[in-house]
Chains A and B, each alone.
Chain A
Amino acid sequence: MKTLTGYLRQAGAALRFLILATVVLGLVYPLAIFGIGQAIAPYQANGSILKGPDGRPAASALLAQVSADDTGIQDPKWFHARPSAVKWDPASSSPSNLGPNDPRLIDTVTANRSAIAEAEGISEAEVPADAVTASGSGLDPDISPGYARIQVPRVAAASGLSPEAVQAMVDRRTSSGPEAFLGQPSVNVTELNLDLASAVQSK
């Protein structure tokens, strides 16, 4: 009986400790970080939102923005992002979670490879790995410079811009320096497609 009341008293103290700690760690702390973030870095804190030519929010620089039909075929007018296990829907995020020997994964990447080779008018051997594999988040905004390069002729033809001009836009959105060395060179497709849109508009 004595132990039971001891336990109950301790449970009461534990609950009050938890509630007080929640006020500090679960409310004051995140709200303070929110306030500081809005004061010193509102662009980052609010999701790196890019504005369109009309000045209204058009995309997040950190997330893929893909125009695709129901079967996942991406619009040929734009640069394509990597395959996604969540159809690039930012309301969710996930990798495919398929194993390195999984037959389902072999089927998927093989089908992706022939589709891309056909769409870009190149041989299957020229399709880079990032083009056929689903990213870790499903929202990856980046592709390899190699994957961007094979898309240039198609995008140039659709936009009416010269392939050289389009390739120059790709190069401008390709990471370099320490960022590319620590990770790997990447082309931000979301930003690239916005650049492309404004270039087409001002043509």
Chain B
Amino acid sequence: MNFNTASFLIQVAALVVALAALHKPLGVYLVRVFEGKTSTRAERMFYRLAGVDAGTEQTWSVYLRSVLVFSAVSILAVFLLQRLQGALPGSNGLAGVDPWVAMNTSISFVTNTNWQTYAPEATVGMFVQMCLLAVQNFLSAAVGIVVAVALIRGIARTRTDRLGNFWVDLARTSFRVLLPMAAAVAIVMVLGGVVQNFWSTDVVNQASGISQTIPGGPVASQEAIKELGTNGGGYFNANSAHPFENPNVFISLFQVFLLLLIPSALPYAYGRIVGDQRQGFTVAAVMGSLWLASVSLMGWAVASGQGTATAAAGGLGEGFEQRFGPVPGAIFAASTTLTSTGAVNTAHDSLPPMAGGVAMVNMMLGEVAPGGTGSGLYGMLILSIISVFIAGLMVGRTPEYLGKKIGPSEMKLTALYILVTPALVLALAGISVLLPDVVANAPSSGPHQFSEMLYAFTSGANNNGSAFGGITTSGPYLSVMMGIAMLLGRFLPIALVLALAGSLARQQRIPASAGTVPTHGWLFGSLLLGVTVILTALSYFPALALGPLAEGLLK
């Protein structure tokens, strides 16, 4: 399979143009949703039936408690109902899910990771897919968005301890943003060939005598939110490589567009709400530059076709679908790991070593280009605060961000945020590779074996969900460790972001002076880009050197 550079450039350009065209209208719509004062009648009825207090805004701690309680309840419900699958309708004859797998899966879908330690075809029926997993695709994406919105409010507001109402934000994001978008997308997907039914079809080819049972399921409805919500959990084991999830190259490109769409529009909404469009534009430009750089690097690494097995095969092919090939494969692989999606249209495990390495680096960047729904923006805002802090150190002033002082308490929260995921990834992967029984779950040899373990924990702690699929993580040890990585990798950063939002909201705005570092424009954008890359490199370079770099440099 050949890498067609012209095709690559045109698809990258098409994505840039489409996202540039839509980020403003979608951003404006998002602002209307989040800043709207009135609820619809249906929403008011929904709040009354749910018994949530939708009338009052919450402090950061109550907002956080709501996030945590809602997520805990979701994890428990998804776990229990998976265990009870055999007794429920829509089980497709499958029994209750193994407890370790059910635990891992419920954490995985509630944390927006969608790591799949199970093969869906043999593990979960339509009920679990449709009523548990797909619902969490909506809600976990919405949780990410509302946390970002709370941080934006913390930056925009002054002298208040109120950040908004979690339940109102969650309902509006789910029903006014994600649901209508998903519905429109799902219809396009069905027209493009993605299946949406509730039965399997027996076929018999009279000429060759082959009979097959063609699977069915509510795939298009799940596929739409899988990409829009940067979830990535496939209806089928092969994910977006499966022809029923991703039937042709147009749908494949559309899927890449969808997983970038909401994260690309959020910076615009951010600029609007803080009343300075340049802020949003600078964040979006940094995200876009990183995406372009990473996609190009991925294209180069895939095109290299490196690897002794690749050479023995006479070129790329292993893990690729013929209808896609290396160009859609590279664009998808880079975009799915730069967001928190983790869907794949090509087996990452079989990519050339440096391409697998780029996928890992993308996640290690903290998935900020443009990142997961919401989590990409709050990750980038945290990095912006680190950048003003560093700039402040250079000029010897107390750093400030949009007129808010970044004092010791804000810096502690920001620094902790930056440390959480590298600590989880490196500690958990480090411990795991010391245990021979655990290492045996990755049946490769040499540096690739280490890469499989490193990739798993990088994906888990960053809530991505893609995998070097050769590793088996369904046993108790890895189920639990991956569960810890996903849980802490999701909710510790959220707690820190909301605490930071609370602390920023309390402050009054100090007017900009001659010594203020502007947080927009080329200079700051370059600084932010540099900080993002350097922090990642400092944290992860040794681990990368042992895995993908070693494999890529070996002959």
- Interface residues of chain A, those whose CB is within 8 Å of chain B, are 7, 10-18, 20-22, 24-27, 29-30, 32-34, 36-38, 40-41, 44-49, 52-54, 56-60, 62-63, 65-67, 75, 77-78, 82, 90-103, 105-106, 109-110, 113, 127-130, 132-144, 175, 178-179, 181-184, 186, 193-194, 196-198, 200-201
**B237 on interface, CB distance cutoff 8 Å:** yes
Q: Decide: A101 near B307, CB < 8 A? Known: A13-B51, A135-B322.
A: yes
Binds A, one of B248-256, B376-384, B493-501: B248-256
On whether the beta carbons of B448 and A99 are closer than 8 Å, the reply is: yes
B residues 230-268 near A (Cβ < 8 Å) are: 236-238, 241-244, 247-250, 252-253
On whether the beta carbons of A99 and B195 are closer than 8 Å, the reply is: no
Nearest neighbor of A82 in chain B, beta-carbon distance: B322
- 19 example contacts (A-B, Cβ-Cβ < 8 A) are as follows A14-B66, A21-B139, A29-B183, A30-B218, A36-B187, A47-B216, A57-B203, A58-B206, A66-B210, A75-B208, A96-B319, A98-B309, A100-B310, A102-B445, A109-B313, A137-B242, A142-B323, A179-B249, A201-B207
User: Which residues on B sit within 8 Å (CB–CB) of A17?
Assistant: 50, 52, 70, 167, 170-171
User: Given A33, A38, A91, which contacts B213 in the complex, CB threshold below 8 Å?
Assistant: A91
User: Which residues on B sit within 8 Å (CB–CB) of A186?
Assistant: 322-323
User: Which residues on B sit within 8 Å (CB–CB) of A75?
Assistant: 208
Q: Decide: A142 near B321, CB < 8 A? Known: A21-B139, A98-B309.
A: yes
User: Which residues on B sit within 8 Å (CB–CB) of A30?
Assistant: 130, 134, 196, 218, 221-222
B residues 460-486 near A (Cβ < 8 Å) are: 468-470
**B46 on interface, CB distance cutoff 8 Å:** yes
User: Given B1, B119, B253, which contacts A144 in the complex, CB threshold below 8 Å?
Assistant: B1
Q: In the complex, what distance in Å separates the CA atom of A52 from the CA atom of B179?
A: 39
Q: Decide: A100 near B350, CB < 8 A? Known: A26-B135, A65-B212.
A: yes
On whether the beta carbons of A54 and B187 are closer than 8 Å, the reply is: no
Q: Decide: A44 near B179, CB < 8 A? Known: A12-B51, A17-B167, A197-B208.
A: no
Binds A, one of B341-349, B421-429, B506-514, B533-541: B341-349
On whether the beta carbons of A140 and B243 are closer than 8 Å, the reply is: yes
The 9 closest A-B pairs by CB, nearest first: A100-B307, A133-B317, A197-B207, A136-B241, A95-B347, A183-B249, A142-B322, A93-B238, A26-B131
Given contacts A63-B212, A179-B249, 19 further A-B contacts (CB under 8 A): A20-B50, A30-B221, A44-B191, A47-B197, A62-B247, A63-B243, A65-B208, A97-B349, A99-B451, A100-B352, A100-B353, A106-B312, A133-B317, A136-B321, A139-B238, A140-B321, A183-B252, A183-B325, A184-B324
Most buried by A among B2, B132, B310, B344: B310
Q: In the complex, what distance in Å separates the CA atom of A10 from the CA atom of B11?
A: 47
B residues 320-365 near A (Cβ < 8 Å) are: 320-325, 327-328, 344-347, 349-353, 356
On whether the beta carbons of A137 and B350 are closer than 8 Å, the reply is: no
Q: In the complex, what distance in Å separates the CA atom of A7 from the CA atom of B65?
A: 8
Q: In the complex, what distance in Å separates the CA atom of A144 from the CA atom of B202?
A: 28
On whether the beta carbons of A65 and B69 are closer than 8 Å, the reply is: no
User: Given A21, A140, A181, which contacts B135 in the complex, CB threshold below 8 Å?
Assistant: A21
Most buried by B among A97, A175, A194: A97
User: Given A34, A47, A96, A194, which contacts B205 in the complex, CB threshold below 8 Å?
Assistant: A194
Band of interface residues on B: 35 or more
On whether the beta carbons of A15 and B210 are closer than 8 Å, the reply is: no
User: Given B119, B212, B325, which contacts A90 in the complex, CB threshold below 8 Å?
Assistant: B212
On whether the beta carbons of B350 and A25 are closer than 8 Å, the reply is: no
**Mask for B373-402, Cβ within 8 A of A = 1, else 0?**
000000000000000000000000000000
Q: How far apart are B197's CB and chain A's nearest CB, in angstroms? A: 5
**B209 on interface, CB distance cutoff 8 Å:** yes
On whether the beta carbons of B448 and A102 are closer than 8 Å, the reply is: yes
Q: In the complex, what distance in Å separates the CA atom of A186 from the CA atom of B237?
A: 23
Q: Decide: A100 near B309, CB < 8 A? Known: A17-B50, A45-B190.
A: yes
On whether the beta carbons of A65 and B167 are closer than 8 Å, the reply is: no
Q: How far apart are B439's CB and chain A's nearest CB, in angstroms? A: 15
Q: In the complex, what distance in Å separates the CA atom of A177 from the CA atom of B194?
A: 22
User: Which residues on A sit within 8 Å (CB–CB) of B77?
Assistant: 15, 18
